[in-house]
Structure 1
Amino acid sequence: MEAIILAGGLGTRLRHLVPDLPKPMAVVGGKPFLEIVLQRLAAAGFEHIVLSIGYMSEKIISHFGSQFQGMRLSYEIETSPLGTGGALRNALDVCKTDHAFVLNGDSYLELDYQALEDMWCAQRMPVIVGRRVEDVARYGQLVVDGKHVLDFLEKTGQGAGVINAGCYVLPKTILNDFARDSVFSLESDFLAPQVRLQDFLVYVAEGYFIDIGIPQDYLRAQQEMAGGKFAA
């Protein structure tokens, strides 16, 4: 299995807490958060990881090098910000198989990766991973019918619902209509219109989920890591 980790963001909301590191390298439980994400992927049997990086990329490369716990690491480096879509478009070119898992470097989700791989192998359709939460306000909300995503609402809702967990299984060629180095958002420029035009499966995960992108959740991760929430 192959995965792309989007880890090139500027992390401005977290900058005052981790001024000298890119956001995915923020320390949680005594280790970089990105290391926790990679540990989980290694345990799930992934063989190749593409790290899409930009801001302070050298700190990520120098820490991890070319392999981690048996996984081969490749790097796709943004010379200027491309947005989540542009970064992913370039990173997909580095993948060797016909599909890739896509994750955010500042999010952790306990997930049955083999079940997702089996879903892909059975249906060969793109998959968006959702997660039920008590308040969708901070996240993109998914409108689902049990098996498919019907609509994608980018941070417009409130109350309980299914959010976009920032994890996907996508065909390698899904963004080929965009030129390399295009600047665009995966969520608002691609997913939001495309879920109305083509079939996207949904996989609703039940495991522990946290996004450290804002200070209060970064500090919550510190507490919950000590309490054993993370399975890596």
Structure 2
Amino acid sequence: MKAVVLAAGEGTRLRPLTEDKPKGMVEVDGKPILTHCFEQMAALGADELVVVVGYMKEAIISHYGDEFAGMPITYTHQREQDGLAHALLTAEEHVDDDFMLMLGDNIFDANLEDVVRRQREDRADAAFLVEEVPWEDASRYGVCDTNDYGEITDVVEKPEDPPSNLVMTGFYTFTPAIFHACHLVQPSNRGEYELSEAVDLLIQSGRTIDAIRMDGWRVDVGYPEDREKAEGLLRGEDAVDASEGGSGEATAGSE
């Protein structure tokens, strides 16, 4: 299974850490965020990486070159930061089967393998790692509704009145059908082509999307304090609250 990593974002909320580097190259516990992402993809059995770059792309390309841990790397370029669906479409011509997708500003220590197993064994149309967050924080995320079978029935991006407190975490598996849905997405109120809208189109077309609840932790490294949180968790420091997740406001393809 190929792995697509979205790493085109500028990381404006991470300044001053991103004044001279793209967000994916900010170091967490001694290595870039993208290295953490790539290592996790390798552990999940990815046989090739497709990395979507944009802001200061040369820093990423020169650092990793054309392979990582034996996995060939193909780079695609998101020229304008127009949202995650827009970023994903740049990888379309390089993906022809089921694939993993990770936002390149997330660090996980969680059951990602359960998502991949569901895709491989059950041939799901898609599977997402999801987590429950405090209700007051849900409006920062892509919020999911599920049915009694654990299937996602609705996704809303950063809703003012969240229908649930179950949110997408930034790790997914898809079939190539997601690309067709991305082509149909219209700009949101934020002026971006939202991945959540593409997911909703898949659901409306009758596709089945399984929600896999997270067992472990993840941090969306959107602000400098999120980097500190991730470092504490990676070092096993009990003082860090894993349940807080991350800021939830940084998006690898648009910020």
Whole-angstrom CA distance in 1 between matches of 2:25 and 2:91: 20
Number of the residue aligned with 1:69: 69
Number of the residue aligned with 1:14: 14
2:176 is equivalent to residue 172 of structure 1 = yes
2:167 is equivalent to residue 163 of structure 1 = yes
Whole-angstrom CA distance in 2 between matches of 1:46 and 1:186: 25
Report if aligned partners of 1:52, 1:77 keep a CA contact under 8 Å in 2: yes
Residue of structure 2 aligned with 1:218, choices 212, 227, 230: 227
Say if 1:46 and 1:21 are closer, same or farther in 2 by CA, change over 3 A.
Answer: same
SS at match of 2:62: helix
Report if aligned partners of 1:6, 1:51 keep a CA contact under 8 Å in 2: yes
Report if aligned partners of 2:178, 2:198 keep a CA contact under 8 Å in 1: no
1:64-99 deviation digits (Å, cap 9, x = unpaired): 11111121111011233342111101213212x411
2:140 is equivalent to residue 138 of structure 1 = yes
- CA shift for structure 1 position 170: 1.0
Which stretch of the first structure deviates more once superposed, 186-195 or 44-53? 186-195
Whole-angstrom CA distance in 2 between matches of 1:185 and 1:6: 14
- CA shift for structure 1 position 212: 0.3
What is the identity, as a one-letter code, of the residue corresponding to 1:164?
M
Q: TM-score, normalised by structure 1?
A: 0.86
Whole-angstrom CA distance in 2 between matches of 1:2 and 1:77: 18
1:178-221 deviation digits (Å, cap 9, x = unpaired): 559x9752334322454344332212221211100123312322
Report if aligned partners of 1:48, 1:72 keep a CA contact under 8 Å in 2: yes
Whole-angstrom CA distance in 1 between matches of 2:164 and 2:228: 23
- CA shift for structure 1 position 7: 0.5
Report if aligned partners of 2:15, 2:224 keep a CA contact under 8 Å in 1: no
Report if aligned partners of 1:136, 1:159 keep a CA contact under 8 Å in 2: no
SS at match of 1:151: strand
SS at match of 2:144: strand
Whole-angstrom CA distance in 1 between matches of 2:28 and 2:41: 17
Q: Paired residues, what number? A: 227
Which stretch of the first structure deviates more once superposed, 85-94 or 99-108? 85-94
2:199 is equivalent to residue 191 of structure 1 = yes
- CA shift for structure 1 position 103: 0.6
SS at match of 2:216: coil
What is the identity, as a one-letter code, of the residue corresponding to 2:152?
V
Contiguous gaps of at least 5 residues in structure 1: none
Number of the residue aligned with 1:106: 105
Contiguous gaps of at least 5 residues in structure 2: 239-255
Whole-angstrom CA distance in 1 between matches of 2:158 and 2:204: 18
What is the identity, as a one-letter code, of the residue corresponding to 1:224?
L
Which stretch of the first structure deviates more once superposed, 132-141 or 12-21? 132-141
> Percent identity between the aligned chains?
28
Which stretch of the first structure deviates more once superposed, 151-160 or 13-22? 151-160
Report if aligned partners of 2:107, 2:230 keep a CA contact under 8 Å in 1: no
Number of the residue aligned with 1:147: 150
Q: TM-score, normalised by structure 2?
A: 0.79
Number of the residue aligned with 1:60: 60
Number of the residue aligned with 1:83: 83
